[in-house]
Structure 1
Amino acid sequence: MRFTVIGAGFAALTAVKTLRKLAKDAEITVVAPQAELVYLPSIIWLPAGLRTAEDLKVNLTNFFKKMRVNFIAGRVQGIYDGGRSVHTEDDVIHNDALIIASGGRFIKKLPGIEHVITPCEGIPSGEAIRDRLAAMQSGTIALGFGGNPNEPAAMRGGPMFEFVFNIECLLRQQGRRDQFKLVFFNPKDKPGARLGPDVPSKLVSLMQKKGVETHLGHKINGFTANSVQTEGGDIAADLILFMPGMTGPAWLDNTSLPKSPGGMIVANEHTQVEGFEHVYVAGDAGSFPGPDWQPKQAHAADIQAKVAATNAVRLLTDESAHLEVIRHELVCIVDTLSHGIFIKRNEKGSRFLPPLRIMHYAKRFFEKQYLRQYRG
Structure 2
Amino acid sequence: MAQEITIIGAGFAALTAIREIRKSDKDIKITLIAPKAEFIFLPSLIWIPSGQRTGDDLRINLDAFFKKHNIHFFAGSVTAIQDVGRTVITDNGEIKNDALIIASGGRFIKKLPGIEHAITICEGIEAAEKMRDKIKAMDGGTITLGFGGNPKEPSAMRGGPMFELLFGLDTQLRQEDRRDKFKLIFFSPAPKPGARLGENAVKGILKQMKTRGIETHLGHKMKHFTENKVTTEGGEIDTDLIIFMPGMTGPSFAANTEMPLSPGGLIQSNMNCEVEGFEHCYVAGDAGSFPGPDWKPKQAHMADLQAEAAAKNLLDGLKGKAATHTFKYELACIIDSNDKGTLAFRNEKRTITIPPCRLLHYVKKGFEWNYLRAYRNP
Task: Report what 2:65 is aligned to.
Answer: 63
TM-score, normalization: structure 1?
Answer: 0.99
Equivalent residues in 2 for 1:273-284, closer than 5 Å: 273-284=275-286
Cα deviations across residues 175-207 of structure 1 (Å, max 9, x unaligned)? 010110000000011000001122212101111
**Counterparts of 1:295 and 1:104 in 2: how far apart (Å)?**
14
Q: CA deviation at 1:132?
A: 0.6
Q: 2:156 aligns with which of 131, 154, 157?
A: 154
Task: Report what 1:52 is aligned to.
Answer: 54
Task: Report what 1:225 is aligned to.
Answer: 227
**Counterparts of 2:199 and 2:295 in 1: how far apart (Å)?**
10
Equivalent residues in 2 for 1:243-282, closer than 5 Å: 243-282=245-284
Which amino acid is the alignment partner of residue 90 of structure 1? N
Q: CA deviation at 1:81?
A: 1.0
Q: 1:318 aligns with which of 313, 317, 320?
A: 320
4+ aligned runs moved over 3 Å, structure 1: none
Task: Report what 2:372 is aligned to.
Answer: 371
Task: Report what 1:361 is aligned to.
Answer: 362
Which amino acid is the alignment partner of residue 353 of structure 2? F
Which amino acid is the alignment partner of residue 115 of structure 1? H
Which has the larger displacement, 77-86 or 101-110?
Answer: 77-86
Task: Report what 1:73 is aligned to.
Answer: 75
**Counterparts of 1:348 and 1:284 in 2: how far apart (Å)?**
24
SS at match of 1:172: helix
Is 1:290 the counterpart of 2:286? The answer is: no
Task: Report what 1:193 is aligned to.
Answer: 195
Which amino acid is the alignment partner of residue 332 of structure 2? V
Is 1:351 the counterpart of 2:355? The answer is: no
TM-score, normalization: structure 2?
Answer: 0.98
SS at match of 1:144: strand
The percentage of aligned residue pairs carrying the same residue is 58
Aligned partners of 2:86 and 2:99 also within 8 Å: yes
Task: Report what 1:86 is aligned to.
Answer: 88
SS at match of 1:198: helix
**Counterparts of 1:343 and 1:203 in 2: how far apart (Å)?**
11
SS at match of 1:374: helix
**Counterparts of 2:229 and 2:257 in 1: how far apart (Å)?**
39
Task: Report what 1:167 is aligned to.
Answer: 169
Cα deviations across residues 256-277 of structure 1 (Å, max 9, x unaligned)? 1111000000000100002111
**Counterparts of 2:82 and 2:313 in 1: how far apart (Å)?**
21
SS at match of 1:82: helix
Q: CA deviation at 1:252?
A: 1.1
Aligned-residue RMSD, C-alpha: 0.8
Task: Report what 1:129 is aligned to.
Answer: 131
Q: CA deviation at 1:288?
A: 0.1
**Counterparts of 1:22 and 1:77 in 2: how far apart (Å)?**
31
Which amino acid is the alignment partner of residue 141 of structure 2? G
SS at match of 2:338: coil
**Counterparts of 2:204 and 2:348 in 1: how far apart (Å)?**
21
Q: CA deviation at 1:319?
A: 2.6
Which amino acid is the alignment partner of residue 94 of structure 1? K
Q: CA deviation at 1:218?
A: 0.5
Q: CA deviation at 1:318?
A: 3.1
**Counterparts of 2:31 and 2:350 in 1: how far apart (Å)?**
39
Aligned partners of 2:16 and 2:308 also within 8 Å: yes
Q: CA deviation at 1:90?
A: 2.4
**Counterparts of 1:25 and 1:37 in 2: how far apart (Å)?**
23
SS at match of 2:165: helix
Equivalent residues in 2 for 1:7-22, closer than 5 Å: 7-22=9-24
Task: Report what 1:235 is aligned to.
Answer: 237
**Counterparts of 1:261 and 1:253 in 2: how far apart (Å)?**
12
